[in-house]
A and B are shown apart, each in its own frame.
Chain A
Amino acid sequence: MSQTVSAAPNIVPMRAPVDADTVLTVRHLKTEFTLRTGVLKAVDDVSFDLRRGKTLCIVGESGSGKSVTARSILRIVPEPGKMTGGEVILHRPDGDVRIHELDPRSSAIRAIRGADISMIFQEPMSSLSPVHTIGFQIEESLILHTDLDKSARRKRIIELLERVEIPDPEQTIDRYPFEYSGGMRQRAMIAMALACNPKVLIADEPTTALDVTTQAEILDLIQELQDEFGMAVMFITHDMGVVAEIADEVAVMHQGRHVESGSVEDIFHAPREDYTKMLIGSAVRLEQPSPIKLRMQAEREKQPEGQPILSVRAMNKVFGATGTVFGRKGQGVHAVRDVSIDLMQGETLGIVGESGSGKTTLGRCLMRMHEPTSGEVLYRGRDGEVDVMSLDRRSLKDLYADMRMIFQDPYASLNPRMTVQQIIAEPLRNRQGHGNAAAIRDRVADLLVRVGLKPEHMERYPHAFSGGQRQRIGIARALAPNPKIIVADEATSALDVSLRSQILDLLLEFQEQLDLSFIFISHDISTVRYFCDRVAVMYRGEIVELGAARAVCDTPSHAYTKALLSAVPRPDPTQRGIHKRHRYVASASDERASQ
């Protein structure tokens, strides 16, 4: 990216007249949702400009109103939301369009959507209709906004698909979204958004649902297209690394309010507001090993190395290798291939990899939540060695008191019809001879305090808690039966960055107090550096690299690990470089295996 920072930070109030490069002006935008419980000010007095060829990143945590801001510009705020004030002005060569004065259903605003201003969304999976071809969904834009005839439209779509680097556009144009990978779908989305050469591209967390390497490719693509067509990009994200990587200017939002704006350098190196400092601080903190971790490692080095608490040998898992009478014969998916790992007492072993690498399957197999196809799992618990593979259902239940799991989604992993007390006490009740009701109550109250909630919360239901609080409840549930090992599967991935470091610190405190061992499954290699002692990198079911977390993160030896690490955007605009990243090209046989 060419680094010109001539444009002064556009802190508002009403800088009339706009310069020639400004394509969209937003002033004092207010959007409110009238709910049963009152009026929610989703966007409260937000102002910014979008300039030709420049990228404005709107950054904030969930609930900050950044997505509603984007939808207000296009006037597609969902019910019962309403734009209640402010101005949105599109500057076209043929004159200004006062978007805020248009009826959201009028043909005037519809002529702007997809033509002058287009938008791409977070979920490439669900943002495309599953029952229409990719070609048709792109063509719709062309039908609406151009006079091209059928064959000219098809030609244009094939050009667009070619431009966003979708292979075989002549064929793939007639394919359906489910035949595309996640990254390809997002490319198709971009092709759709660019179909009519928009002046403004609004990208609402377009890479959040993607793997880091795919994210790097999509960011590269948007950058290239911006250089080529000179459109203004408004990029919404919660990831400070992405902001540092691509932004020219940054606007920080918090709870609907505009906290601070400025050039990317100013925001990262001289933030004025405490909230901005906190956001950057949380992101930067995760770049280094946690102080608690370092203390624990120093402590551990003094002690003689014991035997591993958990040993996995030659584990394999193949899904669905059988064929049906009339169906096509399946080859089966080799999700975990010949994996052997050891977990030491009090250690945190990170397992990182991209989606489909088999890391989640491995986590479930070693607890036998999935039945492994072959392999050994040996657990050295309080009562000696346990061969996990030979346990029956009943003794597995006892094992689950020692080996616990924390899940990714704090919303889906708590039963909405159980109170917090019931949820946390469940693993206690599942075991025989575990105290009376009062004892269980005391235990739950104690756990709630330890995870930073209040004992009086135990009568409430999960919906009364925020995402971060729910994840704390999930942790309390995992800790309830005094476990030895915790398998945390993407336990912090769904959380905002400020919450993420809080939850990781909480887990580290428990590890220090209770001598816990963690298996920490994550696609996010930055949290691994902060949280783990050792890390195993998985790629297509195999462990390609295993070593001390710092060594793997700082001096990776396997080409895939290098590619993975170099694709992670760093929260520092002076260290831009994902477009110079290593690319790991799998061998031809690997490619076939993934088909």
Chain B
Amino acid sequence: MLQYIVRRILLMIPTLLLISFVTFVVVQLPPGDYLNAYVAALTQEGGETVDREQIEMLRQRYGLDEPFLVQYWYWISNIVFEGDFGRSFQWNQPVSDLLWGRIGLTFAVSLASLLFVYVVAFPIGVYSAIRKYSLGDYVFTFLGFIGLAVPNFLLALVLMVVSLQVFGVTPGGLFSPDYASAPWSWGKFVDFLAHLWVPMIIIGTASTAALIRVMRANLLDELNKPYVETARAKGQSEAVLIMRYPVRIALNPFVSRLGWELPALVSGAAITSIVLNLPTAGPVLLTALQSQDMYLAGSFILILSTLTVIGTLVSDILLAWLDPRIRYS
């Protein structure tokens, strides 16, 4: 098992290198280099005299006169060794300042949605497989398809109204205005939770519906397998044997989805975040791409991809823990 994990982590390194390289290619795609854009932006804004020395310093710092691969090395080594992601010229701030708060909140929202998805989809999926074609199965299937079909922005609007009318929570954002710029405290955390459920449900519904169907189909395949009959012939009770054998094996695809459920949630969250005005990564990534703020966009892509690779690793390790056939081969 340990050997398996070490091997998987070693395999991550070339993957991550490739991702960072592709990201850098994307960053470099627009014509001109970053400093031209920066200088142009500064001059445009108010005829500010551009400090030649500062530009020269930046030019050397990012190695802009060097060949492509050297520039890539400067970029990636700054990120890896100093945590310096470059500057966003649109915001005129270091990218890292913009990044961390939003990435953190993005993942808080995504993980909450993921939790919601799995906690809701698992029992319903198991139920509708065991009670196939029962009233409950039909009701959940119907609700599931509604969940799949309703666009996120519509659901967002409906839930904003509900949260304001029923719970008296200010709609939109992840915090009440009082807490928005306050430092973290217990009160702010409670306020955060009160706001979190709306995006959590909105972002989670479509995946939940899909996952219910996946779990149902997997389990239906497994329920008729001979090993279930073996357990039954041993005298095990239905409840225990279903959870211990077919459900355990039907979990495999359920878990392996984890890896690609994460990026799907992050990118699916962009629309919801815009509608709900969430301070997460989605909207900023969108504007950064629109205004060709390439260091910002590149950093987002890099970090989200990295986290996705880590998500895949986690799901692979979970899978190996769950299924000895993977562990040993």
A308 vs B227: C-alpha distance when bound (angstroms): 49
Interface size on A (CB < 8 Å)?
A: 35
| B80 CB within 8 Å of chain A | no
Q: Are B235 and A129 in contact (CB under 8 A)?
A: no
B248 and A145 contact, CB distance less than 8 A: no
Q: Which residue of B lies closest to A192 (CB)?
A: B234
Chain A residues closer than 8 Å to B62, beta-carbon distance: none
For the complex, what is the distance from the CA of A178 to the CA of B231, rounded to whole Å? 18
**Complex Cα gap A456–B233 (Å):** 46
Chain A positions 78 through 121: 1 when the CB is less than 8 Å from some CB of chain B, otherwise 0: 10000000000000000000000000010100111111001101
A105-B238, A129-B249, A131-B322 in contact; A76/B233 too (CB < 8 A)?
Answer: yes
Question: Is residue B56 within 8 Å, beta carbon to beta carbon, of the partner chain?
Answer: no
Tell me the chain A residues, 359-392 only, with Cβ under 8 Å from chain B.
none
Q: Is B325 at the interface (CB under 8 A from chain A)?
A: yes
In contact, B236 and A140 (Cβ under 8 angstroms) = yes
Q: Which B232-281 residues sit within 8 Å CB-CB of chain A? A: 232-238, 244-245, 248-249
Q: Which residue of A lies closest to B233 (CB)?
A: A119
Q: What's the minimum C-beta distance from A457 to chain B, rounded to whole angstroms?
A: 31
CB contacts (< 8 Å) of B227 on chain A: these are 126-130
Smallest CB separation, B227 vs chain A (Å)? 5
Interface residues of A in 24-75 (CB under 8 A from B): 74
> In the assembled complex, how far is the CB of residue B226 from the closest CB belonging to chain A, in whole angstroms?
4
Chain A positions within 8 Å of B323 at CB level: 130-131
Any B CB within 8 A of the CB of A223? no
A176 at the B interface (CB under 8 A):
yes
**B-chain residues with CB within 8 Å of residue A115 when the two chains form the complex:** 235
**Alpha-carbon separation in the docked complex, A326 to B236 (Å):** 42
Confirm or deny: B11 has a beta carbon within 8 angstroms of a beta carbon on chain A. Answer: yes
Residues of chain A within 8 A (CB-CB) of B225 are 126
Q: How far is B245's CA from A122's CA once the two chains are assembled, in angstroms? A: 19
- On whether the beta carbons of B328 and A179 are closer than 8 Å, the reply is yes
Chain B residues, Cβ within 8 Å of A119: 233
B229 within 8 A of A: yes
Q: Which residues of B contact A121 (CB under 8 A)?
A: 226, 229-230
**What is the bound-complex CA distance between A140 and B231, given in angstroms?**
9
Instruction: Indicate whether A11 reaches chain B with its CB closer than 8 angstroms.
Output: no
Chain A residues near B11: list those with CB within 8 A. Answer: 326
- Say whether chain B's binding surface is mostly helix, strand, loop, or mixed: helix
Using A105-B238, A129-B249 as known contacts, say yes or no to A78 and B325 having CB atoms under 8 A apart.
no
We find that the number of chain B residues with CB closer than 8 angstroms to chain A is 26
Most A-side CB within 10 Å, residue of B231, B235, B244: B235
Contact of A220 with B by CB under 8 A? no
B245 touches A140 (CB 8 A): no
Is A110 a contact of B226 with CB atoms below 8 Å?
A: no
A314 contacts which chain B residues (CB < 8 A)? none
Q: Is the CB of B230 within 8 A of A127?
A: yes
Contact A144 to B235, CB < 8 A, known contacts A131-B249, A131-B325, A326-B11: yes
Contacts of B290-329 to chain A: CB distance below 8 A: 322-325, 328
Known contacts A176-B324, A326-B11; A114 and B234 CB within 8 A of each other: yes
Interface centre among B227, B229, B249 (most CB of A within 10 A): B227
**Distance A121 CA – B11 CA, assembled complex (angstroms):** 42
Q: How far apart are A417's CB and chain B's nearest CB, in angstroms?
A: 21
Residues in B with CB closer than 8 Å to A130 are 227, 249, 323-325
Given A76-B233, A122-B226, 20 more A-B residue pairs with CB atoms under 8 Å apart are: A74-B233, A78-B224, A110-B235, A110-B236, A114-B233, A115-B235, A118-B234, A127-B227, A128-B227, A129-B231, A129-B249, A130-B324, A131-B323, A131-B324, A131-B325, A133-B324, A141-B235, A144-B235, A145-B235, A326-B11
A interface list, Cβ under 8 A from B? 74, 76, 78, 105, 107, 110-115, 118-119, 121-123, 126-133, 137, 140-141, 144-145, 176, 178-179, 189, 192, 326
Q: Could you give 21 example pairs across A and B, Cβ below 8 Å? A: A78-B224, A112-B235, A113-B232, A113-B233, A113-B235, A118-B234, A126-B225, A127-B230, A129-B249, A130-B324, A130-B325, A131-B248, A131-B324, A137-B230, A140-B236, A141-B234, A141-B235, A144-B234, A176-B324, A176-B325, A178-B324
